[in-house]
Structure 1
Amino acid sequence: MAQGAASDPTAFASSAAIAAQVAAMDRAMKPGQGFAWQPVVRDGNRVAALEIWKHPGRPAVHPAEAEYATVIDGEGTLVSGGTLENASTTRPDLVEGDRIVGGTRRPLRRGDVMLIPAGVPHGFEISGRRLVLLGTKLPTR
């Protein structure tokens, strides 16, 4: 079988394309907007996406999905584990809370990688201007 674009379903984004996408997302964020999400590559319903955090969001749990992410810019802190306080189901795939009690704090810098298992509370604090992640959800089923 011949090799080439027609026989290769691989989704790909160059580092230049990702840098341009981050810059465009950053420009499009409104003053005071704390979070932006945008897909980079897709394969059906599987997606790798960019997340820009300028302010911490509500800590969350994804009951049936692990979350894998790499820090591509900025700095912050990952808070994970512990217990999600005042948890409420926002969507079938998302439970959010007010804060994490008893979680582990890990500093995040460019190049750091995280794999948060399904069902584990997690949230991000931001150091400086922003924290940029490239990540995907991994279904457990």
Structure 2
Amino acid sequence: MRIFGLMAACALATSASAQTDPTAFAKSAEVKAMVASMAHDIKPTEEMLYRPLLAQAPYTVAIEYWVKPKQAASHLKEAEFVTVLEGSGTLVSGGTLKNAHHWYDETDGGEIVGGTTRALKPGDTFFVPEGTPHWFGIDGGKLVMLTMHVPRPAH
């Protein structure tokens, strides 16, 4: 009888733990389906599509499907964590933004002067600190990335 009581307690603890687990999770098939959907939905006039995959305030993990480069940017109040899923391209980061303008919590500019250039391929992962200029070039038609913007911690 005592063993059954212990087993029941373990089962309840496991069940309670599963019910309160705040982990956001996406299966590989869901990620692949979202990428396929974005490939289908992107229009010839669009540079990129952004779609949230997981959300757990204040964080959002998203997929960015790029087909054309945009101007360089710098996020003033958040860092960005990125993993390349598909395609290939170029990351230019660091340096300064030429012809920059501010809007909301971003600075956009035409080009980066004095940045570091890196080739990107699937599996590459990088972290761009807040306030760091960055730009993506696209090789071979697409650059698909899993991204998460990380807000500045409150002080």
Does the TM-score normalized on the shorter chain lie above 0.5? yes
Aligned alpha-carbon RMSD (Å): 1.2
Which of these two proteins has the greater Rg computed from alpha carbons?
A: 2
The structure 2 residue matched to 1:2, chosen from 1, 6, 13, is 13
**CA displacement 1:13-69 (0-9 Å, x = unmatched):** 011100000110111111131111000001123100000110001100001211100
4+ residue runs of structure 1 moved beyond 4 angstroms? none
Partner of 2:80 in structure 1?
A: 67
Which whole-Å CA distance do the structure 1 matches of 2:21 and 2:131 have between them? 34
Q: Which has the higher helix share?
A: 2
When structure 1 is superposed on structure 2, of 72-81 and 3-12 the one drifting more is: 3-12
**CA displacement 1:44-98 (0-9 Å, x = unmatched):** 231000001100011000012111000000000000011101111122x211001
The structure 1 residue matched to 2:110, chosen from 90, 98, 110, is 98
Query: Aligned pair count?
Result: 140
- Aligned AA for 2:48? F
Q: Does the aligned pair in 1 maintain the 2:76–2:131 contact within 8 Å?
A: yes
| Unaligned runs of at least 5 residues, structure 2 | 1-11
Which whole-Å CA distance do the structure 2 matches of 1:77 and 1:60 have between them? 14
TM-score (normalised: structure 2): 0.86
- Aligned AA for 1:3? T
Partner of 1:111 in structure 2?
A: 123
Partner of 1:132 in structure 2?
A: 144
Which whole-Å CA distance do the structure 2 matches of 1:121 and 1:48 have between them? 20
| Cα distance, 1:140 vs structure 2 | 2.2
